[in-house]
Amino acid sequence: MSGALELEVGQVVAERTYAISRDTLVRYAGASGDFNPIHYRDDVAASVGLPGVLAHGMLTMGFAVQPVVDWLDARGWVSDYQVRFTRPIVVDPVDGATVTVVATVGAVDETGGRIDLTVSVDGQTVLGKAQVRVTAL
């Protein structure tokens, strides 16, 4: 995708769904070095009062911003990215979890704009105030 970065408030620029399995969590732990057992052991998660094994927060953030990065292609770059974690993602040992991301233009200015991310699992938002600042090249 090439060309100018044209933004209009309310425009949906990207949508994507990601399947997260326990295998995904193990692979991410290896890549990131985050081997906290709440991300792969049910007994440890339960012992600290969690409802089950949780996806890594940074994995969730990465999944959430990737559709924007792909949409931007060579037309711009992510100059800021912030989220607030509002709900953990419990990854079922059999069914895993499905994360849905919708990226919508929230504001436009002379250098680019703000993309607001709606990130949910089973209809429940898992990241709040998830905002990506994009700057046009």
How large is the average pLDDT for residues 70-83? 97
Q: What is the pLDDT of residue 1?
A: 43
How large is the average pLDDT for residues 4-31? 96
List 99's β-bridge partners, or say none. 18, 121
Q: Are 9 and 115 in contact (CB under 8 A)?
A: no
> Length of the chain in residues, anyone?
137
Q: Is the pLDDT of residue 19 over 80?
A: yes
Q: What is the pLDDT of residue 4?
A: 80
Q: What is the pLDDT of residue 3?
A: 65
Place of tokens 């559709």: 67
Q: How far apart are CA 78 and CA 133, in angstroms?
A: 6
Q: What is the pLDDT of residue 63?
A: 97
Q: Is the pLDDT of residue 72 over 60?
A: yes
Q: Is the pLDDT of residue 49 over 70?
A: yes
| CA 123 to mean position of chain CA atoms | 15
- pTM of the predicted model, to two decimals? 0.93
Q: Are 109 and 133 in contact (CB under 8 A)?
A: no
Domains of the chain: 12-20+56-136 (3.10.129.10)
